[in-house]
Amino acid sequence: QTVRRPLVMGNWKMHGNLQENAALLQGLLQAGFSAEEARVAVCVPAPYLAQAQALLQGSAVHWGAQNLCREPVGAFTGEVSARMLADFACRYVLVGHSERRTLFGESDHDVLQKVGQALQAGLIPVICVGETLAQHDAGTTEAVIAAQLQPLLAGLAAADWTRVVVAYEPVWAIGTGKVATPEYAQKVHAFIRAQVAEEAAEAAQGLQILYGGSVKAENAAQLQAMLDIDGALVGGASLKADEFVKICRSFR
């Protein structure tokens, strides 16, 4: 069986300022994460990438962005390209977060283009998928996830799947305090891995699949115990250093 190193990633969303960020990042540095523990990363708002780089460079904590432009360069006012993120030594970039999909109209095709841009710039795209409450209640979760993955499975090469991360984030669990049961999440994670395996059998075994949606210190251990849950994408609870460190340490 393939050993997948756990990955715990914070998503700050549109929170923070220079002063609060410095305190939060210092808190993470003080935890002194080692190579035997989960890999740890924070996805910060784009203006603070330089700050994250300055404070985290050389430490065990990686950083990344929350979004990128689907085009490489040009007249796209207000957008940030993959290469710009690479200039600030980002390791990761979130792609297709549910807030991007629902509030900013990102389509599965946009997601595919953005993943392509990230890969070309040497970034690791963290591809977010997940069903809404209505889709969950209608019992269509697997069909929804399959549809979100389909353009990626068709558009990416098998080898690309060794350079991406997938985050399963049921939309009804994001920021709601309603965490999916570990068993429910495990079932969807196994489904995602099986879908990827159809196109890239070997890469699917090494693919890190993170769970996201109201992960807290108190529920992290049960989630990490599941075979196909390889880490977490953490929103609200990543804004408190103590709690985020506890979540990171729950993943082994």
Q: Is 180 in the site for ligand PEP (CB under 6 A)?
A: no
Q: What is the 3-state secondary structure (H, E, C) of the chain?
A: CCCCCCEEEEECCCCCCHHHHHHHHHHHHHHCCCCCCCEEEEECCHHHHHHHHHHHCCCCEEEEECCCCCCCCCCCCCCCCHHHHHHCCCCEEEECCHHHHHHCCCCHHHHHHHHHHHHHCCCEEEEEECCCHHHHHCCCHHHHHHHHHHHHHHHCCHHHHHCCEEEECCHHHCCCCCCCCHHHHHHHHHHHHHHHHHHCHHHHHHCEEEEECCCCHHHHHHHHCCCCCCEEEECHHHHCHHHHHHHHHHCC
62 catalytic per annotation: no
Q: Is 130 in the site for ligand PEP (CB under 6 A)?
A: no
112 or 215: whose CB is closer to ligand PEP?
Answer: 215
Q: Is 124 in the site for ligand PEP (CB under 6 A)?
A: no
- Nearest approach in angstroms of CB 102 to ligand PEP is 12
99 catalytic per annotation: no
Annotated binding site for substrate: 11-13, 175, 214, 235-236
- Nearest approach in angstroms of CB 53 to ligand PEP is 22
Among 234, 241, 245, 247, binds ligand PEP (CB under 6 A): 234
- Nearest approach in angstroms of CB 99 to ligand PEP is 7
Q: Which stretch binds ligand PEP (CB under 6 A): 78-86, 146-154, 221-229, 232-240?
A: 232-240
Q: Is 250 in the site for ligand PEP (CB under 6 A)?
A: no
Q: Is 127 in the site for ligand PEP (CB under 6 A)?
A: no
Q: Is 174 in the site for ligand PEP (CB under 6 A)?
A: yes
179 or 203: whose CB is closer to ligand PEP?
Answer: 179
Residues 6+ positions from 54 with CB-CB distance below 8 Å: none
Q: Is 214 in the site for ligand PEP (CB under 6 A)?
A: yes
Note the residues at the interface with ligand PEP (CB under 6 A). Answer: 11, 13, 169, 174-175, 212-215, 233-237
Positions marked active-site: 97, 169
